[in-house]
Structure 1
Amino acid sequence: MKSPRPYTPATGPGPKSLTERRKAATQLDIARAACALFAERGPDGTTAEDIALGAGVALRTFYRYFRSKQDAVAPLLARGGDEWRALLEAADPAEPLREVLEEAVRQALTVGPEGEEALRWTRGLLRAAASDPALRAVWYRVNQDSEERLVPVLARLAGPGADPLDVRLLAAAATDAIRIALELWAAGEDDATGPGSPVDLALRALTRLTASLPLLTP
């Protein structure tokens, strides 16, 4: 079974201890196994025992970290958001904010051969979520958390005089642009690159959702 690395739509605190890193690694192993099984069998055809076996851990270890089989995919979904925000955290506040956002979208969603496989796993996972309310709730929860963590990142880029309302609206719009792009792409048959790809859809969505936001107007 190959290990998927789904993308979704604030990097965490400073350096982690060895215990925290081991815990995070175990969670990711479980998440990869869960994602692979959901994409292959669907949530109904997968049990927590199946996921634990696929990850090479005891069932009690699975439940130490996750309340349900659907919750197990959250760490992988969250990684995409972490990578997207890291690109924005590294950006120069002196650069035009719209250009910074668009470039971050391009870098986050433009993929090579390995990334295309990861997006195919994402497609399978989001298709499974369409018919599984619990899995869909995890997807929405991860996106909501990502949006909240994006606010201080955008506030820094927007500068001290930015209206907090505009910053919140931009965080919501940017998060939704990527979420909607991935959902629409997952529901169709377009390739991971070119017209109709996640990056193409996300850039189009970002433009339309932010067209009237003062922070992005010249």
Structure 2
Amino acid sequence: MTPTREPTPEPTLTERRRAATQIEIATAAARLFAERGPDGTTAEDIARSAGVALRTFYRYFRSKQDAVGPLLAAGGDAWRALLAEADPDAGLRTALEQAVFDALAEPGERTPDQLETTRGLLRAARDDAALRAVWYRVNQESEERLVPVLTRLAGADADPLEVQLTAAAATDSIRLALETWAGTGDAPSSGPRAPAELAVRCLRRLTAGIPLLDERPAAR
């Protein structure tokens, strides 16, 4: 039997306002980093661009590089949400590939802008160790949050090690796809060289030896 999910509590008004402020600051930081680079951007610049006081900036973030964390994390939140809604009976591999593809290529007005923002950040991170550290931290946290989602889809009897391996492979597939795309000139946001296609290719290669993904769903 597939474990049922506990309902997620609705965020309070204060939590929603806090999250909105963090995203506004993160968006301003990402834009400035892409335009000027981290060395050419100060916390004061980010706060001014976001329309908040410097003390507000430091209430939420320890450093200018740390400010982009919520924006980068939002991508992981979106794709885990897609996966969480998948039908367990469809099979884990199918669910994973579809969620990865849809998260990076699902039609919508915001998708190209989000990808371009990520491209600018990853290019800026190549020469800034602190910004790279934020990117790696966000990916690690996303991997950890992915495990319970995969456990629900795979079933309570799934091998925990294989679930962990799948979470690591899926997270790294998206990370590698975005990094490769960002480093390849002006590669388009759709098509064979786009993040969605690259991520699915990476996922298939990295999960080829994980039996969990090739097992047929158990009868329920």
State whether TM-score is above 0.5.
yes
**Residue matched to 2:73:** 78
Letter paired with 2:175: R
Aligned length: 208
**Residue matched to 1:115:** 111
What SS does the aligned partner of 2:86 have?
coil
Structure 2 CA distance for aligned equivalents of residues 172 and 184 of structure 1: 18
The answer to whether structure 1 residue 184 and structure 2 residue 194 are counterparts is: no
The answer to whether structure 1 residue 146 and structure 2 residue 129 are counterparts is: no
> Which one of the candidate residues 4, 9, 23 is aligned to 1:14?
9
Q: Using the TM superposition, give the Cα deviation of residue 13 of structure 1 relative to its aligned residue in structure 2, in angstroms.
A: 4.7
Deviation per residue, 1:12-38 (Å, 9 max, x gap)? 952111111111111111001000100
TM-score, normalised relative to structure 2: 0.91
Structure 2 CA distance for aligned equivalents of residues 54 and 172 of structure 1: 36
The answer to whether structure 1 residue 194 and structure 2 residue 196 are counterparts is: no
Contact 1:33–1:51 (8 Å) recurs in 2: yes
Structure 2 CA distance for aligned equivalents of residues 118 and 79 of structure 1: 10
Deviation larger for 48-57 or 98-107: 98-107
**Residue matched to 1:3:** none
**Residue matched to 1:7:** none
Structure 1 CA distance for aligned equivalents of residues 8 and 120 of structure 2: 31
The answer to whether structure 1 residue 136 and structure 2 residue 132 are counterparts is: yes
Give 5+ residue unaligned stretches, structure 2.
216-220
Letter paired with 1:61: T
Q: How many percent of aligned residue pairs carry the same amino acid?
A: 66
**Residue matched to 1:5:** none
The answer to whether structure 1 residue 46 and structure 2 residue 49 are counterparts is: no
Give 5+ residue unaligned stretches, structure 1.
1-9
Structure 1 CA distance for aligned equivalents of residues 171 and 63 of structure 2: 25
Structure 2 CA distance for aligned equivalents of residues 217 and 72 of structure 1: 40
**Residue matched to 2:200:** 203
**Residue matched to 2:164:** 168
Structure 1 CA distance for aligned equivalents of residues 114 and 213 of structure 2: 31
**Residue matched to 1:214:** 211
Q: Using the TM superposition, give the Cα deviation of residue 114 of structure 1 relative to its aligned residue in structure 2, in angstroms.
A: 3.6
Contact 1:111–1:193 (8 Å) recurs in 2: no
**Residue matched to 2:218:** none
Q: Using the TM superposition, give the Cα deviation of residue 96 of structure 1 relative to its aligned residue in structure 2, in angstroms.
A: 1.0
What SS does the aligned partner of 1:94 have?
helix
**Residue matched to 1:155:** 151
Deviation larger for 104-113 or 206-215: 104-113
Q: Using the TM superposition, give the Cα deviation of residue 100 of structure 1 relative to its aligned residue in structure 2, in angstroms.
A: 0.5
Letter paired with 2:24: D
Letter paired with 1:151: V
Structure 1 CA distance for aligned equivalents of residues 175 and 206 of structure 2: 12
Letter paired with 1:71: D
